[in-house]
Amino acid sequence: MKRLAAGTELDGFRIGACLHVGGMAHIYEVSYADEHAAPFDMVMKVPRMTASDGAENIVSFEVEHQILQALHGTHVPRLVAAGDLVTMPYLVMEHVPGLTLQQVLNESAQQDTRAKVSDMARMGAAIARAAHSLHQQNTCHLDLKPANVLLHPDGHAVLLDFGLSCHAHYPDFLAEELRLAVGSPAWIAPEQVVGVRGDPRSDIFAIGVMLYELATGALPFGNPQTNGGMRQRLWMDPTPPRRLRDDLPEWFQEVVLRCLEPEAAKRYPSAAHLAFDLEHPEQVKVTKRGQQVLRTPFFTHLKRWLKAAGMHYQPSPLPSQQIEEVPIVMVALPHDEPSDATLYSLRQAVDRSLGIRPGARLAVVTVISPNQSNTTESDKSETTLHRQYRTMLQQWAQPLDLSQHQTSYHVLESTDVANALVRYAEGNNVSMIVLGAATRGLQMQRFVATIPIKVAMESPCTVILVKPSLPFERLMDESNLNPL
Amino acid sequence: MKYALLSDIHSNLHAFDACLAHAQAHGAERMAILGDLVGYGAFPAEVVSRCQALLNEGAIVLRGNHEELIQTHSINTPYPNPSLGSQTAAWTHDQLSPAQRFWLEILPLTAQVEHMLLVHASADAPERWHYVENERTSSLSLDAACANPQVRYVFGGHVHHQSLYYRGMGRQLMAFKPTADVSIPTPKHRQWIATIGSVGQPRDGNPRAMYAMFDSVAEKLTFYRVAYDHRAAARAVREAGLPEFFAQRLETGK
């Protein structure tokens, strides 16, 4: 396809400036030819090759059209129109303002600086949220890389270029019986290297590569040009980022290396879990993975290389199903002298909810009123109070078996308890809220009964209201009552 | 044009009516009945009358293997060790008027409409009722149909389950298991073959009736599962004195 001249009219669109000349496609600014105003800025993407050239990249153009039709939300550009694939292929879509992550990387490379940890966490969380929104719509991007991630000025991330993506409800035109690697060599996940398409955790791997790149300026597995080179990531540990940049905190390395685990099951089970860690660094449980600064010894790599030779990846179930099996469960504890029965019942409810969902994550939350903290008295200072309440939450959770569940504790400050809980659930992609139906702590406030109801009505997810009750036999004999 | 594709009704009036109503509500502009109108169920005469009326309104009606099966069987004809299938075929024979039987006998085996080839079983030898049930058999049917360059889609029934086969990057066809109610883009520069399932006798463990809708302008194919009164349909099978097996099949969808 030769370059379109500015001013050309095509199917009711007037071609404007060429914004980007890529290996696969040209991107033009466009407007409606009849000059009626568009609700948002538009671009037209025109592939360099046409179907008659017999080029295979036309297939990825078809895939992008197929997938963009199905996606919605703020994390994807809106599709406006598509040309006939055989005669005049093009896609007209929303022109989203912002910088691509590649531009951010280029800028810091030019200035020879590295992004601040807090900025990287913010960008990483935005990308993870965008990926999660895609996974909820049964789509895996499968080609996440800095050039395909756009950071909107308002802070959210928009994902671009769905040419290699895969929607579980549609036939996968890029699949074939031979199972070849489809993706970009630097960011491709190990399971994609062996031809498995459709696992949302492949996108988590790619986000890990981008975070590594942001932090160190280097690619964890280089940019291999051969299939053998790409297979390295099936067994090889990348150099710990902290070895390349010593001001990186352990928690950040923990997060990045967890994304880069060769086995998908060892990575974050969903992008919402990843966003959660990036937004709550103090809650990240640092393991050896986060601490190490030495490269993995040769002998360990050799053993893993042997294991990887026979490594077998299973195709995954529907992305939305898979991520629903590892929900983020949030429990709201009253902070004000809650009764034993309340605490006991909430614990039972949480135990039951987590028990059938290995890998689910637990967030234990309480809301205190802001005027409880006082900057002058030291035992009422914000940090002291928060520490006290966090300890209370941890004590509550102690009897639970949380070995299979990542757990975090949060003290929120707000005068509006229900609103604070709902906002927290929205902000963290919580799948289920467990809270007391009417607890003493909440009763002491003004709009008592309405708090659980308000949460139930306004919450974006399932809400379980728990009635306080102790087990029958315990009530019979008060002296047996253990401290709960 | 939106085509409702219905096959393997098998004398199940309850399911047929439910699917026709569903198709109308979803904007179907032309009905296509892909064979096996009769057999197994309790309402052969009613289903045939419906199809005759639909044909007069412009529907496409094709012949399936059961339309042949019922021609030669009668309760009055002694049949050695009759199978369950031939028992119902004999019963069905006697429920239909000679005119209806003749009407069924002369139905066409295939129809070509726009870029579609419609057939009850396989396009490579429609009269031999080959099953299109995997990548290999679907490719035989598709290749035969696409000998006519006008044809890009082959839609059929016969196998009682819903499947879509398409060409991916490799040489072989790829099988795809559709999700009900999802409109699947099926652009016509590719070649497609689908089995649309059975209206009147689902066999995949789900008693809901199956059919599909093809929108030839938007180039989209949607598979549907329609809830209907399958208990009433099963009761009617029992009341007609037909084999218990066919009643249970409607109740369990197996």
Q: Chain A: nearest CA to B116, how far in angstroms?
A: 19
Residue range B226-242, pLDDT digits in tens: 999 999 999 999 999 99
The number of distinct structural domains making up chain A is 3
Does a structural domain hold residue A1? no
Question: How much is the average pLDDT of A288-311?
Answer: 81
Rounded mean pLDDT, B11-29: 98
CB contact under 8 A, A175 and B169: yes
d(CA A466, CA A461): 16
- Same-domain check for residues A21 and A65: yes
Q: Which residues contact A7 (CB under 8 A, 6 or more apart)?
A: A14, A15
CA of B167: which chain A residue's CA is closest?
A173
pLDDT digits (tens, 9 = 90+) for B129-169: 999 999 999 999 999 999 999 999 999 999 999 999 998 76
- Please tell me whether residues A290 and A142 are part of one structural domain: yes
For residues A283 and A231, membership in a common domain is answered with: yes
B166 reaches A (C-beta below 8 A): yes
CB of A129 within 8 A of CB of A155?
Answer: no
Q: How many percent of chain A have pLDDT more than 70?
A: 88
Domain B2-252 of CATH type 3.40.50.720: no
Is A74 contained in some domain? yes
A38/A305: higher pLDDT? A38
Residue A90 near residue A45, CB atoms below 8 Å: yes
Which domain CATH number covers A426?
Answer: 3.40.50.620
**Same domain? A203 vs A340:** no
Residue A68: band (very low, low, confident or very high) from pLDDT cuts 50, 70, 90: very high
Give the closest of A85, A170, A177 to B184, CB-based: A170
Question: Which of helix, strand or coil describes residue A132?
Answer: helix
pLDDT bucket at A179, cuts 50 / 70 / 90:
low
Tell me what percent of the residues of chain B surpass a pLDDT of 90: 85
The amino acid at A457: M
> Rounded mean pLDDT of A118-128?
97
Residues A114 and A34 in one domain: no
Domain boundary pick from A59, A94, A129: A94
Which residue has better confidence, A321 or A8? A8
For position A479, what pLDDT does the model report? 47
Structural domain contains residue A337: yes
> Which one has a higher pLDDT value, A376 or A220?
A220
Give the whole-angstrom CA distance, residue A438 versus residue B153.
Answer: 60
A66 touches chain B (CB under 8 A): yes
What's the confidence (pLDDT) of residue A473? 47
Pair A179, A235 in one domain: yes
Is pLDDT of A436 > 70?
yes
Q: Name the minimum distance, in Å, from the CA of B64 to any CA of chain A.
A: 29
Contact B169/A59, CB-based, under 8 Å?
yes
Residue span of the structural domain in which A394 resides: 327-480
> Nearest-CA distance from A291 to chain B in Å?
44
Q: Read off the CATH number of the domain in which A128 is found.
A: 1.10.510.10
Cβ–Cβ under 8 Å, residues B38 and B104: yes
- Which pTM was predicted? 0.83
Q: Smallest Cβ distance to B169: which of A66, A85, A176?
A: A176
Domain boundary among the residues A319, A339, A363 is at A319
- Which residue in this structure is represented by tokens 């614990």? A347
Q: What span, in angstroms and rounded, lies between the C-alpha atoms of B89 and A118?
A: 75
A52 or A72, which is more confident? A72
Phi, psi of B164 (to 5 degrees): -130, 135
pLDDT tens per residue, range B47-91: 999 999 999 999 999 999 999 988 875 555 555 556 777 788 889
- Examine residue A230 and state whether it is found in any structural domain, yes or no: yes
Does the structure show a pLDDT above 50 at A26?
Answer: yes
* Cross-strand partners of B214: B3, B221
Q: How far is CA A454 from the centre of its chain?
A: 28
Lowest mean pLDDT of A178-182, A231-235, A387-391, name the range. A178-182
Q: Of A94, A113, A145, which residue is a domain's last?
A: A94
